[in-house]
A and B are shown apart, each in its own frame.
Chain A
Amino acid sequence: MGLASYLAKRAIERLILLLIFTAFVWMLVLGIPQLIGINPAYHFINPSEFLHSKNPELAEQLTIESIDRELGLNYPLEVQFFIYFIHMLTLNLGVCPVNHQNVAVCLLSALPFTVILTIPPVLFQTLASIYLGSIAAIKRNTKTDVAIMSYFIVDYNLPIFVVSLFLWFLFAVVLKIYPISVYNEVHDWTNIVTDLKVFWLPWLILTFIYGFSTRGILMRNAMVENLDSDFIKYERLAGLREKIVRAHARRVSIIPVIVRTAIDLAFAISGDFFIEVYFGIPGLGYKLYYAALGDEIMIVLGSTFVLTLYAIILLYFVDIVEFIIDPRARRSVK
């Protein structure tokens, strides 16, 4: 099977996933309520707003009609969804009827914080997992191996909110070296000093507690497998130095870790939403959380779509890269 047909097939699969997901979220928020006879527009207005007007009922009706027009709620359901999906694909995320904020602008302003929060830990995690995993594999079944694996397992099983609570408490309240309130400090992400002041603790938590252990275990197991494989045995028999042999084994074992990193990165933005909410970093997850609590439906729809689109694009790249660098993946595709 050629590269082109494989890529096309995967692209269609991913696009269908995106369509299903968008339909799912849209049905959940706007579709099902209309099917059971609730006009979602009623949730964007406060009836007491119209009490001062001469004709409160007319004023309310007019407002609801204008919201209907804005959200396109006056079309039949299938047309509504089609328009919505086209809008989403062209990244025309719309304007929130609650606060009249442009959703795309709102999300763009939040993006840098999420990127700053996500990228450094992912890089460091990957390096650390490759390093620790290979050490554990080389010193297989020794105390070092047990210690590293125990760390991975404990790490994997720590609930993130417990860790965040304790570490934040330790550094912000007891030791007083982390700002108690972060939100005021991070309005401007271009200021490196405040960035470092605010982001070091989330980075620490994301690096050592969250997401790192899966890759470490993957690396160890792959490395163990490769150290036992025939080509390494042959290299040893041929009298190559142990250092070079290990380097070769490591190079082969890195592939699943890199793939896994990309997958993790695809979900990192939605996965880090707890950290953003807990520390008050105004990234995408934070925006989504407070939009959901504040009933700002367009922001909720827009940000879930953007997060999914991003994940799908990244997963598609994973497919491509896996296909190109790993011959085994090519064989497994049928």
Chain B
Amino acid sequence: MNLRRFKKTFKELLKTWQFLLSFIILLGLVLTVVVGNIVYAKCCPYNPSYYYAAAPFARPSWATLFCGNLPPDIKVPSSYNLIAAKCPGVLSYWHLRNETLNGDKIEIIWNSTFGPYNETAFNKNLATFGNTGPGSIEIKIIGDNPVNITLYHCFDYTYKLPSIHNIYLMQYSVYSNTSQLYIINGKIIGPNGTSICVLYHGSGFPLFIKNREFYSYIFNPVNKYEIIEGQWNFFQAGSNVPTFTPYYYTLPPNESAFATFYMIQYLFSKDGTYNVTFTIMYYPSPLDGNSTTIYLSDVYFEFLGSVYGIFGTDAHGANVFAEFVKGGVFDLELAGLAGLAIVAIGAVVGILAGYYGGIRDMALVSTTDFVLLLPGLIIILLIVEVLTLYDPQFLDTYRPVILAGIITILSWPITARVIRGETYVVRSKAFIEAARALGESNLQVLRKHIFPNLLPIIFAQLTLDVTAVVYTESTLDFLNIGIPTTEFPTWGNMLGYAQYYIASAPSFAWWWVLPPALALVLLGISLFYLGEAILEKYRVKTGVS
């Protein structure tokens, strides 16, 4: 079929509204997936390092039209250069300047060459920054009197009050080479006067604190209270894991279980200006010399908001749109490849069987009978189960290939049978007889006359097979037999994963469930109408019923 004829047929097909509509839907779906996949090329949303793009169950940003004024992500500071201390502006951002206080001389400079490295406590996700390399705030204190140095920055909060799913996190990296006692305290002060202490770490143990509950924070080895000298220390805590915050230990024991809730509710009670504060409390002893240098970097506060991106976030705060496009690209790739394989095998076998008849035909029909008898899902379940028993490593490595292979093997005979039937019809036409009479060989007849006449049905069969492959694969993923949620997203395992959370999620997490579900349904229906339109045209033209 040459290109011009193809173009002409395509234009004619576009005149039917079903074809046009399904073509537009299909094109939109594929374009979304492809463009999204280019944008989120590196993102792997099921990997913990891509969690916390926003708070769990954040709504899509366009949904604020009917969800009200939900809080977005609030980042202090908001640019990477300021967080990682890559530019001198970080000093003025945190309101730092040289000062002489209480007989101590404080010198603050921006160090462009020394920065965090080798931080073992650092767990990467989208709300944490660590091991950011050169760039830090260098604080030099000369003198031996106690002094407080405060880094602070304010942000305005003018949104709906946060819910239990919202989280705020504070973090910093610190380096010092001194045995002097200093304590770094990170807290947030609200407009109602509440202050919540999130971080509290020191280079030694403060023996002057009278609050006994506080000792259970300091001496709890899990909390990693101590700043170890001579290396970069990464500290991060937030309202999602309150046991790491000192605030948790100030609550009465019967309330500490609700610390996450209190940390959000007590702090965010009204609109206004909130103050993020990091305080270095310096308690020198004259025995250890009178000069100390502390390096600070990655000083960061983030409030994880309830509005994010195109499709919001899932139960881990991962980007649902990234999941959607990643899942889509896998599903479409698999369906396209497996569908093509099915149609290719089916077409070759079907045409040969239909054209030559005889024993080849019988072999095909009995194979089809056998495969039709196999309960598809159960056979796949069996094969996957047997592979997990005898060779789990092989299964884990080649899981998508194995699944595609099984689906192909189970599906091609049915396609072959359909194409065989059509070949039968075409073969008995007069023009084939004429071609034979003119002395054309079998191969020539097949290539010149039978194959072009079968192209429409092959295309139509392709559309049906693609749908079948996507649905089978998605059902497997949904049932946790296919691609697991630890590997990469597919539309099926997105739905299977979401079903455990939707009952307890706000608004039943519709932004998480609907995209893959609608995409699957639209893909199936539009492909069906596409195939149907091609067949319809073909029938009218050739009179084949």
- Residues from 486 to 531 in B contacting A, C-beta threshold 8 Å: 492, 495, 499, 502-503, 508, 513, 517, 520-521, 524-525, 528-529
- From the candidates A43, A162, A304, name the one contacting B521 in the complex (CB within 8 A): A162
Q: How far is it, in angstroms, between the C-alpha of A43 and the C-alpha of B389 when the chains are bound?
A: 7
Residues of A within 8 A of B524 (CB): 157-159
A157 to B378, Cβ gap below 8 A?
no
Is B386 on the interface with A (CB-CB < 8 A)? yes
| A117 proximity list for chain B (CB < 8 A) | none
What residue of chain A has the Cβ atom nearest to residue B474's Cβ?
A159
CA distance A295 to B384 in the complex (A): 11
For the complex formed, measure the closest distance between the CB of A251 and the CB atoms of chain B, giving whole angstroms: 22
CB distance from B22 to the nearest CB of A (A): 11
**CB <8 Å contact, A169 and B508:** yes
Q: How far is the CA of A153 from the CA of B430 in the complex (A)?
A: 35
Partner of A173, one of B475, B503, B529: B503
Cβ contact within 8 Å between B520 and A292 = no
Give min CB distance, A115 to chain B, whole Å.
17
Asked if B479 is at the interface of the complex by the 8 Å CB criterion, the answer is yes
Instruction: Tell whether, in the assembled complex, residue B385 and residue A162 are in contact, meaning their CB atoms are under 8 Å apart.
Output: no
- Known interface pairs A157-B521, A277-B479, A304-B378; A162-B383 also in contact (CB < 8 Å): no
Is A308 interfacial (CB-CB < 8 Å)? yes
Interface: A38 (CB within 8 A): yes
A297, closest chain B residue (CB): B389
A199 within 8 A of B: no
Q: Let me know if B373 and A292 touch, CB within 8 A.
A: no
**Given the known A-B contacts A173-B508, A270-B378, A304-B378, are A157 and B528 also in contact in the complex, defined by CB atoms under 8 Å?**
yes
Task: For A159, give its contact among B503, B521, B528 (CB under 8 Å).
Answer: B521
* CB pair A158 B521 closer than 8 Å: yes
Distance between A275 CB and nearest chain B CB, rounded to angstroms? 12
Would you give the shortest CB distance from A333 to chain B, in whole angstroms? Answer: 13
Residues from chain B with a CB closer than 8 A to the CB of A28 are 382-383, 386
Contact B517 A274, beta carbon cutoff 8 Å: no
Within the complex, the shortest CB–CB distance from B405 to chain A, in Å, comes to 14
**A17-25, A131-139, A235-243: which lies at the interface:** A17-25
A113 at the interface (CB under 8 A from B): no
User: Of A156, A159, A267, A270, which one neighbours B475 at CB under 8 angstroms?
Assistant: A159
- Chain A residues with CB under 8 A of B369: 13, 17
**What does the 1/0 interface line of A276-303 toward B look like (CB < 8 Å)?**
0100000001001100110100001000
Which one of B479, B495, B517, B525 contacts A157 once the chains associate, using CB atoms below 8 Å?
B525
B517 contacts A21, CB within 8 Å?
A: no
Check A300/B528 contact, CB under 8 A, given A21-B370, A308-B373: no
**A271 touching B375 in the complex, CB below 8 Å, given contacts A158-B521, A159-B520:** yes
A273-B385 in contact (CB<8A)? no
Known: A17-B369, A159-B524, A161-B495. A29 touches B478 (CB 8 A): no
Tell me the complex Cα distance, A33–B386, Å. Answer: 9
Nearest-neighbor residue (CB-CB) of B389 within chain A: A43
Known: A157-B521, A161-B495, A274-B475. A292 touches B382 (CB 8 A): yes
Q: Does A174 contact B (CB under 8 A)?
A: yes
**B390 contacts partner chain A, Cβ-Cβ < 8 Å:** yes
> Which residues of chain A have C-beta atoms less than 8 A from B370's C-beta?
17, 20-21
For residues 15 through 63 of chain A, which have their beta carbon under 8 Å from a beta carbon of chain B? 17, 20-21, 25, 28-29, 33, 38, 40, 43
Residues of B within 8 A of A103 (CB): none
> For the complex, is B377 an interface residue (Cβ under 8 Å from A)?
yes
User: Which chain B residue shows the least CB distance to A308?
Assistant: B373
B390 contacts A33, CB within 8 Å?
yes
For residue A311, CB closer than 8 A to chain B, the reply is yes
Give per-residue flags for B386-415: 1 if the beta carbon is below 8 A from chain A beta carbons, else 0.
100110000000000000000000000000
Chain B nearest Cβ from A179, distance in angstroms: 14
Which of B377, B378, B390, B525 has most A Cβ within 10 Å?
Answer: B378
Residues of B within 8 A of A20 (CB): 370
B374 at the interface (CB under 8 A from A): yes
B-chain residues with CB within 8 Å of residue A267 when the two chains form the complex = 375
A111 to B467, CA, bound (A): 32
Question: Does A262 sit within 8 A of B, measured CB to CB?
Answer: no
A312 within 8 A of B: yes
CB-defined contacts of B529 to chain A, threshold 8 Å: 153
Once the chains are docked, how many angstroms separate the CA of A258 from the CA of B92? 82
Interface centre among B377, B385, B503, B528, by most chain A C-beta atoms within 10 angstroms, is: B385
Minimum Cβ distance to chain A for residue B87 (Å)? 50
Closest to A180 in B: B503
**A165 and B495 form a contact (CB under 8 A):** yes
Interfacial chain B residues near A153, Cβ < 8 Å: 525, 528-529, 532
**Residue from the list B374, B382, B474, B479 in contact with A300, Cβ < 8 A:** B382
B471 contacts the other chain (CB 8 A): yes
**Count the A-B residue pairs with Cβ separation under 8 angstroms: how many?**
100
Cα of A166 to Cα of B513 in the assembled complex, Å:
9
Closest chain A CB from B368 CB (angstroms)? 11
Judge if A318 is at the interface, Cβ distance under 8 Å: no
Q: How far is the CB of A87 from chain B (nearest CB, A)?
A: 19
Q: Are B375 and A307 in contact (CB under 8 A)?
A: yes
Q: Knowing A159-B524, A165-B499 touch, does A274 contact B389 (C-beta < 8 A)?
A: no
The CA of A59 and the CA of B381, in the complex, are separated in Å by 33
Q: Collect the chain A residues with CB atoms within 8 Å of residue B492's CB.
A: 161
Question: When chains A and B are docked, how far (Å) is the Cα of A274 from the Cα of B503?
Answer: 21
Residue-wise interface mask of B (298-321) relative to A, using a CB-CB cutoff of 8 A (1 in contact, 0 not)? 000000000000000000000000
Minimum CB–CB distance for B49 against chain A, Å: 29
Per-residue CB contact flags for chain A residues 204-232 toward chain B (1 = under 8 Å, else 0) read 00000000000000000000000000000
Closest chain A CB from B224 CB (angstroms): 35
Q: Is A160 an interface residue (CB 8 A)?
A: yes
Known interface pairs A160-B475, A173-B508. Does A274 touch B377 (Cβ–Cβ under 8 Å)?
yes
Contacts of B521 in A (CB 8 A): 157-159, 162
Q: Quick check: B385 and A161 within 8 Å, CB to CB?
A: no
Most chain A CB inside 10 Å of its own CB: which residue of B366, B375, B520:
B375
| Minimum CB–CB distance for B467 against chain A, Å | 7
Closest to B516 in A: A162
Assuming the contacts A33-B390, A160-B475, asked whether A288 and B525 have C-beta atoms less than 8 A apart, the reply is: no
Q: Is A29 touching B467 in the complex (CB atoms < 8 A)?
A: no
A322 CB to closest chain B CB (Å) equals: 15
Cα-based distance from A292 to B386 in the complex (angstroms): 9
Contacts of A89 in B (CB 8 A): none
Closest A residue by C-beta to B496: A161
Bound form: Cα–Cα A157–B499 in Å: 21
Interface hits, A298-332 → B, CB 8 Å: 300, 304, 307-308, 311-312, 315
User: Are B385 and A293 within 8 A (Cβ)?
Assistant: yes
Q: Residues of B contacting A17 with CB < 8 Å?
A: 369-370, 373
Query: What is the CB-to-nearest-CB distance from A15 to chain B, in angstroms, rounded to a whole number?
Result: 12
User: A311 → chain B, closest Cβ, in Å?
Assistant: 6
Distance, CA A57 to CA B246, complexed state (A) = 54
Task: Please give, as numbers and ranges, the residues of chain A lying within 8 Å of B502 by CB-CB distance.
Answer: 169, 173
A154 with B382, Cβ < 8 A, contacts A274-B377, A274-B479 known: no
A166 to B521 alpha-carbon distance, docked (Å)? 13
Contact partner, A273, options B377, B520, B525, Cβ 8 Å: B377
* Closest B residue by C-beta to A303: B378
A158 to B377: give the CA distance in the assembly, Å.
17
Given A17-B369, A270-B378, A308-B373: A162 and B495 interface contact (C-beta under 8 Å): yes
Q: Knowing that A157-B525, A267-B375, A288-B381 are A-B contacts, what are 19 other residue pairs whose CB atoms are under 8 Å apart, sorted by A's residue number?
A: A17-B373, A20-B370, A25-B382, A33-B389, A40-B389, A153-B529, A156-B528, A159-B475, A161-B474, A161-B479, A161-B495, A162-B520, A165-B499, A169-B508, A173-B502, A173-B508, A273-B378, A289-B381, A292-B382
Q: List 5 A-B contacts (CB under 8 A).
A: A161-B474, A161-B478, A174-B508, A267-B375, A270-B375
Q: Please give me the 6 A-B residue pairs with the lowest Cβ-Cβ distance, nearest first.
A: A270-B375, A157-B524, A292-B385, A161-B478, A162-B517, A157-B525
